[in-house]
Amino acid sequence: MTIRALIAALAMSAVVAVSHPAAQQPASPAAPAQPTKVNADALSSLVFVKRVDEYVALHRKLEATLPARPEHPTAAQLDRHAEALARLIGEARSHAKQGDVLQQDTRAYLRRQIGRALAGPDGPEMRRSIMEESPGKVQLHVNGRYPEGVPFTTMPPSVLAALPRLPEDVEYRFMGERLILLDVHAQLVVDYMDAAIQQ
Amino acid sequence: MLCRRLPYRIGLVVCLSAAWLLADSAATARPAIQRAAAPLPLTLPNKPDSLKFGVMGDFGTGKREQYELGQQMARVHSQFPFTMMLTVGDNLYGGSRPQDFLDKFEKPYKALLDAGVKFHASLGNHDSRQQSVYEPFNMDGKTYYTFKAPKESVRFFAMESSYLDPTQLNWIQHEMESSRDDWKIPYFHHPLYSSGGRHGSDLPKRKVLEPLFIKYAVSVVFAGHDHVYERVKPQNGIVHFVVGSSGQLRKGNLDKSTGFSDYANATEQAFLAIEISGDEMYFNAVSRSGKVIDSGVIARRKGE
């Protein structure tokens, strides 16, 4: 390689290095910079679904320890099974508190998604259908049973389409402006967030 | 005779018990006597090989009115032996504890259950998801499902209308597309068309479901939620029924301004008795007092 060619090659690599975003960071071998969250929403969704999956894995593990449900169960047997499952989950998650699954990043992300779904021309109608069956002030507790006799608010299809998909054991439900993560088999509140629907 | 032969105290106990038992059996037998004495004025063809079924919704109150309509169902069954009953949700109000299943379902429909009528439930907004594993509801643990009728070319689609997530919407599309049955009949809780004053038409659900129903040549849809009975004029060729008064009733709660009602009743509880024979579906809406309040025939829409 001639000296002229070497200089040209070095000049080229310098141009490439300058144009690369990482090259704009000051060279600091001791503290690598936090990666930029290029698609923050996708990351929030991923983290959230992972936490729900962990919950579902626990649910299934605990359910497997219960006596198998009879092939033709009576209403009383179903009730005992659901209660026993709820008790086991409650014991295993005795330290769980509001916000453990629906953490701050997730809450912000879900609010944005719900807001987007309700922002269209059908938004007022969807809000109406959500609030129609709102039971008013109801005390909710993480690990508590879904309150007996309180109807399930409808979840508009476009809101569900905007939220991360959940495993079949867990559902989203609104209760007024609250969003609940509901364990449908144990009838248990996994977590909930306030002001999920913004004005 | 026996009473006179026994010592006084024992005789009194035996005879009073016998009298009580006789009175009780007479009370139990009373509906059967009524059934025999007064046939209902049904206008269904009642052909031997047709598919016969019922539809009811918003029924699980455990109150007198629900039981009385249950008796009318038994009367209809004695004349028109339907083999299935579809429920359009709100099967149990106020909870899903064992006593609720007993008082709000097993007792009021005992005559039908004893006669082997198979219930196929869908869930309403008052229904716990646990109901899907209750065997007499025949949901096989699923909150939405499909099944083929035992007679005629008919397939039913029980949907969970309070939770139409992408998974369920993909499912209904796939199932309707793959069905080769002449009649595709969806049923669920929230009505796409309703003149009920409390809730009315559910527009967000109409937006996602109606195009599918049009595409796959659905002829009739059953729903509830509004506590009235209504038959809607064909909308894009599809007849919508609201059967939300089989236990609950919101008297007079009709919005007459919708303009799409063909018949509506908000004065007494009702359910539907239905017969499908070939390309025709006959229906009678029967009220708590035993009147046929609505009747007619619907021709099947043919797919393209």
- Give the CATH number, domain containing residue B171: 3.60.21.10
State whether the Cα torsion B195-B198-B204-B210 is positive or negative. Answer: negative
Span A103-111, average pLDDT: 95
Span B173-198, average pLDDT: 97
Flag whether residue A129 sits within 8 Å of chain B, measured between CB atoms: yes
CA-CA distance, A175 to B259, in Å (whole number)? 33
Do B51 and B25 lie in one domain? The reply is no
User: Are the beta carbons of A73 and B129 separated by less than 8 Å?
Assistant: no
Calculate the average pLDDT of chain B: 90
Q: Does residue B196 lie in a domain region?
A: yes
Q: How many domains does chain B divide into?
A: 2
Q: Does residue B273 lie in a domain region?
A: yes
Do B21 and B117 lie in one domain? The reply is no
Contact between residue B207 and residue B236 where contact means Cβ atoms under 8 Å apart: no
pLDDT band of B195, cuts 50, 70, 90: very high
Do B195 and B286 lie in one domain? The reply is yes
Do B64 and B174 lie in one domain? The reply is yes
User: Are the beta carbons of A78 and B126 separated by less than 8 Å?
Assistant: no
The Cα angle at residue B112 between residues B89 and B143, in degrees rounded to 5:
30
Q: Does residue B304 lie in a domain region?
A: no
Q: Closest by alpha carbon to B192, among B165, B161, B216, B163?
A: B161
pLDDT reported for residue A43: 87
User: Are the beta carbons of A160 and B208 separated by less than 8 Å?
Assistant: no
Do B225 and B130 lie in one domain? The reply is yes
CA-CA distance, A96 to A194, in Å (whole number)? 17
Rounded to a whole number of angstroms, the distance from the CA of A12 to the nearest CA of chain B is 50
Instruction: Say whether pLDDT at B12 is over 60.
Output: no
User: Are the beta carbons of A160 and B161 separated by less than 8 Å?
Assistant: no
**What is the complex's ipTM, to 2 decimals?**
0.82
CA-CA distance, B260 to B249, in Å (whole number)? 21
Q: Which residues of B256-290 are buried (b: 16+ CB within 10 A; e: fewer)?
A: eebeebeebbbbbbbbbbbbbbeeebbbbbbbbeb
pLDDT reported for residue A68: 86
Rounded to a whole number of angstroms, the distance from the CA of B35 to the nearest CA of chain A is 31
Q: Which of B96, B100, B204 sits opposite A156 (nearest CB)?
A: B204
User: Are the beta carbons of A165 and B133 separated by less than 8 Å?
Assistant: no
Contact between residue B88 and residue B125 where contact means Cβ atoms under 8 Å apart: no
Strand B220-223 to strand B239-243: parallel, antiparallel, or no bridges (unpaired)? parallel
Structural domain including B95 reads: 45-299
Span A161-189, average pLDDT: 94
List of residues 6+ apart from B294 with CB closer than 8 A: B229, B231, B263, B265, B283, B284, B285
Rounded to a whole number of angstroms, the distance from the CA of B161 to the nearest CA of chain A is 8
Do B150 and B196 lie in one domain? The reply is yes
pLDDT reported for residue A3: 43
Do B119 and B141 lie in one domain? The reply is yes
Flag whether residue A134 sits within 8 Å of chain B, measured between CB atoms: no
Q: Does residue B270 lie in a domain region?
A: yes
Residue A192, phi then psi, degrees to nearest 5: -155, 160
H/E segment holding residue A196:
none
State whether the Cα torsion B164-A198-A139-A126 is positive or negative. Answer: negative
Give me A74's structure tokens: 């009576």
Contact between residue B204 and residue A155 where contact means Cβ atoms under 8 Å apart: no
Do B121 and B266 lie in one domain? The reply is yes
pLDDT reported for residue B27: 37
- pTM here is 0.85
CA-CA distance, B289 to B186, in Å (whole number)? 29
Do B233 and B287 lie in one domain? The reply is yes
Q: Does residue B26 lie in a domain region?
A: yes
pLDDT reported for residue A29: 61
Residue ranges of chain B whose CB lies within 8 Å of a chain A CB: 93-98, 100-102, 125-130, 133-135, 161-167, 169, 190, 199, 202-205, 207-208
Give me A61's structure tokens: 């593990």
Do B91 and B29 lie in one domain? The reply is no
Rounded to a whole number of angstroms, the distance from the CA of B30 to the nearest CA of chain A is 29
Flag whether residue A128 sits within 8 Å of chain B, measured between CB atoms: no
User: Which of B102, B135, B167, B190 is the mutation pick for testing A, counting most A CBs within 10 A?
Assistant: B135
CA-CA distance, B229 to B293, in Å (whole number)? 10
